[in-house]
Amino acid sequence: MSDIMLARPAVRWFWLFLFWPLWLQAAEPLPAWNDGLSKTAIVEFVQAVTTDGTKDFVKPAERIAVFDNDGTLRSEQPMYFQMLFALEEVHRLAPQHPEWKQQQPFKAVLDNDQKTLADSGMDGLLKIIGATHTQVSTQAFLTNVRAWLAKAVHPKTHKPYTEMVYQPMLELLTYLRANGFKTYIVSGGEVEFMRAWTEEVYGIPPEQVIGTTFTGEYQYNDGKPVIMRMPKLAHNDDGPGKPVSIDAVIGRRPIMAFGNSDGDLQMLQWTASGDGKRFMGLVHHTDAQREWAYDRNSKIGKLDKALDQAAAQNWTVVDMAKEWRQIYPFDTPAP
C-alpha cells in the first residue's frame, strides 16, 4: 500500500505533463490572436457547429474548411513565392537553354532587367512558369522545389520561405482539426509546388491541396512509369475556378472559407450560399510594420470587391495589425 501511495504523485504529474497542452488549448484557443471580434466570431462558430443537439450542429464529415494559401496562410510580398522559385529556376536551367540569352522574357530574367520583365506581362509570366514547371516528371519537379526551399530565403526577413507563414493561421488550422474539421488549401498556386511542403508546414496532406494544374501524361522513363507534366494548363484555380475545383475534388460545400483577395471572392460566395451556419473570413493586410499593408490598389493580393462584399454581408475581416499578437512563428508575441 505504501508503495502505491508513493507512486501516486508521480502518476499525477505524468498525466498532467501529458495532457497539459490540450488543457491549455481548451482554456485559451488561438493564443496568437488578440481578444476581439474575429477571434470571438471564430470560437463561437466552431462551438456552434460542434455542439451536438443544437440547431447549428454539423456532422464531422461535413465540417469542411477551405483556405487560400498566398496572403492567407503565408506572406505573398514582394512577389508570389512560386514566381520567385520560377525566376531562380530560369538561372539554374539557363546552361541547358543557350537560346534564352536572346529570347524574352528569359533574357530579361538573366539580365535582371526588371522593366522588360514587367512589360512582358501575363504572357511573359506564363512562358516562365511553363518553362520551369513542365516537361519534367512530377517527382522530379517536387525534388526541384524542395531543393530550392532548402536554400532560398526571403529577401526582407532572410528567413526560409517555409517560415514565412502566419502563426495565428497555423493555430486556427490546428484548432479546427481538433474540433473535427477537415482542412483544405484551395489556391491559385500550382498544386505540385504547394504539395512539396504543405504537409510539413501546415499539416495538410497532398490530397487536401487543390490548386492550378497542368495536364499530365503517363510515360516510361528508363523502363519506369512516370507522370510527365505537360505544357498545357488543365485548370486555373483562381476566382471562379475555385468553386469549380471544390465541387469537383471535395464534393461537399465548405462551411468555412478564408481568403485575402478578390481572387477568393467566388470561393467565399460559394461557401456563404449553402444552408446552415457559415463562416467567411478575410485576412486584411494592415500591418506595414510587422508585415505589409495593402488592399485595393495592390498588384499582388488585391482586396477590393471582396472587401466591399464582406462589409455588406457581415463577413469576418481580420485586421492583422490589431488582431494578431504575433505574425510569424519566429516573432516575439506582442503583449
Q: CA 183, CA 65: separation in Å to the nearest integer?
A: 5
What pLDDT, on a 0 to 100 scale, did the predictor assign at position 335?
Answer: 82
Predicted confidence pLDDT, tens digits, the chain (335 residues): 444 444 455 545 555 555 554 544 456 899 999 999 999 999 999 999 999 999 999 999 999 999 999 999 999 999 999 999 999 999 999 999 999 999 999 999 999 999 999 999 989 999 999 999 999 999 999 999 999 999 999 999 999 999 999 999 999 999 999 999 999 999 999 999 999 999 999 999 999 999 999 999 999 999 999 999 999 999 999 999 999 999 999 999 999 999 999 999 999 999 999 999 999 999 999 999 999 999 999 999 999 999 999 999 999 999 999 999 999 999 999 88
Rounded to whole angstroms, the Cα distance separating 78 from 34 reads 26
Expressed as residue numbers, the domain containing 46 is: 33-78+165-216+235-323
CATH code, 299 = 3.40.50.1000
97 is a domain residue? no
Residue 264 falls inside a structural domain: yes
- Report if residue 25 sits inside a domain: no
Instruction: Give, in order, the Cα–Cα distances in Å from 229 to each of 84, 88, 122, 192.
Output: 20, 19, 21, 10
- The pLDDT value recorded for residue 8 is 57
In a domain, 139, yes or no: no
Q: Are 301 and 294 in contact (CB under 8 A)?
A: yes
Model pLDDT, residue 286: 98
Residue 316 lies in a domain: yes
Q: Which residue has the cell 508546414?
A: 201
Q: Considering the domain boundaries, does residue 182 fall inside one?
A: yes
Q: Is residue 222 one of the residues assigned to a domain? A: no
CB atoms within 10 A of CB 64: 22
Query: For the chain, what is the largest distance between any 2 Cα atoms, rounded to a whole number of angstroms?
Result: 87
The DSSP result for 81-131, as a single string, is HHHHHHHHHHHHHGGG-GGGGTSTTHHHHHTT-HHHHHHTHHHHHHHHHHH
Provide the number of structural domains found in the chain: 1
Radius of gyration (C-alpha) of the chain in whole angstroms? 22
For residue 208, give the DSSP letter: G
Q: Is residue 292 a part of any domain in this protein?
A: yes
Is residue 320 within 8 A of residue 334, CB to CB? The reply is no
